[in-house]
Amino acid sequence: MSHKIALETPLMHAYGQFSHQQYRANSEVTRGELGFCVVIKELPLCSQLNIRGDAACQNFTSGIQQVLGIELPTEPGCWHFSAEHSLYWLGPDEWLLVSQGPSPDLEAKLRAALSGHISLVDVAGGQSILNLRGAAPALAILLKKSSVYDFGGWSDAVDGRGRCAQTTFAKASAVVANRPDGSFDLVVRRSLADYIGRWILDAGREFGCRIEG
């Protein structure tokens, strides 16, 4: 049995749409002469845990900070992050942890540090993360096309914290978060990642939109 198992990206059809339908082979894009105002990038697979607990419990909040080294976000619509971990506020007692560390090790450390009524669920297999970067005006219009949420009302993200929202995106849903560099991360259902990728390619066509990978 071969051990060379290929992991297929859920955006395989979006890659095909970009390279074969939106822009023809041997055109300006292959010669680097075509400008793009919006770029989609699929981020590498990583650990993702859904965490539930009582934000008013000192043991819970201190345990999270002890293991992750970042403070639990308790303000609605906010996320905190470090070089290795990101914590997204999803509700008064629910958060999404995205981490570069291995899921089993991370979950074991959290279970050892936390007590009481908590829930830790590994959701990495069902979700993908996309990053949208580019010119601010183009990104603003693309987000308005894609969601009813007013992302324009957000304050700019700074090192260690930003804004996030769990909302509709196209005819699906996503957790959308702003980053200090002006880009946006989208946490989406893996089964819908290809659909959302193709939606963004179409919605951003007027600005020049490409998928990177």
Give the tens place of pLDDT for each residue, 2-34.
455 445 566 656 665 554 344 444 444 434 445
User: What is the tally of structural domains in the chain?
Assistant: 2
Exposed/middle/buried for residue 128 (C-beta within 10 Å: 0-12, 13-18, 19+): buried
Is 39 in the same domain as 51? no
Which of 77, 96, 125 is at the close of a domain? Answer: 125
* Residue 1 belongs to some domain of the structure: no
Handedness of CA 92, 127, 164, 61 (dihedral sign): positive
Q: What is the pLDDT of residue 20?
A: 37
For residue 199, give the nearest of 168, 154, 153 by alpha carbon: 168
Is beta strand 209-212 parallel, antiparallel or unpaired with respect to 38-42?
A: parallel
CATH number of the domain enclosing 164: 3.30.1360.120
Residue 121 lies in a domain: yes
Report pLDDT for 101.
Answer: 78
pLDDT (tens digit per residue) in 41-92: 999 889 999 999 999 999 999 999 999 999 999 999 999 999 999 999 999 9
CATH of the domain at 73: 3.30.70.1520
Give pLDDT tens digits for 184-196: 999 999 999 999 9
What one-character DSSP code corresponds to residue 158? B
Task: Output the pLDDT for position 17.
Answer: 55
Q: Which amino acid is at 24?
A: R
**SS3 for 137?**
helix
Average confidence score pLDDT of the chain: 87
Answer yes or no: is 85 within a domain. Answer: yes
DSSP annotation of 17 reads I
- Dihedral sign for Cα 95, 71, 106, 174, please: positive
B/e letters for 93-117, b = 16+ CB within 10 Å, e = fewer, are bebbbbbebebeebbeebeebbeee
* Other Cβ atoms closer than 10 A to 192: 19
Domain of residue 199, residue span? 12-26+34-43+126-212
Q: Are 173 and 199 in contact (CB under 8 A)?
A: no
